Amino acid sequence: MAVDQNLKIELGKQGIFVTTIEELYNWGRRSSVWPMQFGLACCAIEMIATTMARYDLARFGAEVFRPSPRQADLMIVSGTVTKKMAPQVVRLYNQMAEPRYVIAMGACAISGGPFKQGYNVLKGIDRYIPVDVHIPGCPPRPEALIQAFMTLQKKIDGQPLTGEGRPRFLDADAQGEFPVPEQGEHDLEPTSNKGVWPVPITIR
């Protein structure tokens, strides 16, 4: 149930704070999104720069990078995901506790980038796990990562706790574990998770 903004401000002037459970809950969630400490390629260098004093990602509540997937809320896929590495990335995502989010950082993580037409690079991590925010760039600047982080916070803020569009961890029927691809004789098997990434149809 939404609170009338003007009434809220008026009550605030009188020293009364009015909110909803949903607002409070989402405020709590979005203000302490802890990323996982894990980098794949050169984008990781930009991610490290983002956390340092000049860009200071801690301003957004992401002050600690957790070295364990159990303690992390956000996976920043920072760099090229090779087909040899992809099963491990999916496994790490499965080990993270809900609520969990993914930012695909850089051209390689969102599409394969310059290695797209190669034989050994995954053409985007969104083929196997659900990605919340994609950032283009090679590598993206720290400002772009901060922008992605703010986009993610807006997304969390807008999530209702019940009904359609509620987050996955509040939906008992939602898929919780994502299948880890097998390393086959010629390619990863399967080549994508159809439930997460429907194969696009090219219209000519």
Partner 1 sequence: MEEIKAAIEAAVPGAQVEFVPNPSVSAQHSLRLSPESAVAVATFLRDDSELAFDFLSNVSGVDWPDKEIAEKVKVTRQVVKTVDGPEGKVDQTVDETVEETRKRVEPGLLEAVYHLYSVAKKHGPLVIRMRTTNRSDKTQLPSLTPVWRAAEFQEREVFDLYGIIFTAHPDLRRILMWPEFKDHPMRKDYIDPDDFEYEPTPHDEVLKRAQAHRAAAQGTPPVEEGAAGA
Tell me which residues touch partner 1 (CB under 8 A). 83-84, 116-117, 119-120, 123, 183-187, 191, 200, 202-204
Burial group, residue 67, by CB count within 10 angstroms (0-12, 13-18, 19+): exposed
Query: Of 11, 3, 25, whose CA–CA distance to 158 is shortest?
Result: 25
> Toward partner 1, which CB reaches closer, 157 or 187?
187
Element (H, E) at 148: helix 142-157
> Toward partner 1, which CB reaches closer, 19 or 183?
183
> Toward partner 1, which CB reaches closer, 112 or 140?
112
- Tally of residues, the chain: 204
> Toward partner 1, which CB reaches closer, 6 or 202?
202
Minimum separation from the CB atom of position 80 to partner 1 (A): 13
Minimum separation from the CB atom of position 200 to partner 1 (A): 8
Minimum separation from the CB atom of position 112 to partner 1 (A): 8
Ramachandran category for residue 106: left, alpha or beta (phi over 0 → left; psi -120 to 50 → alpha): left
CA distance 185 to 81: 19
First to last CA, the chain: 46
> Toward partner 1, which CB reaches closer, 30 or 83?
83
Minimum separation from the CB atom of position 187 to partner 1 (A): 4
Minimum separation from the CB atom of position 202 to partner 1 (A): 5
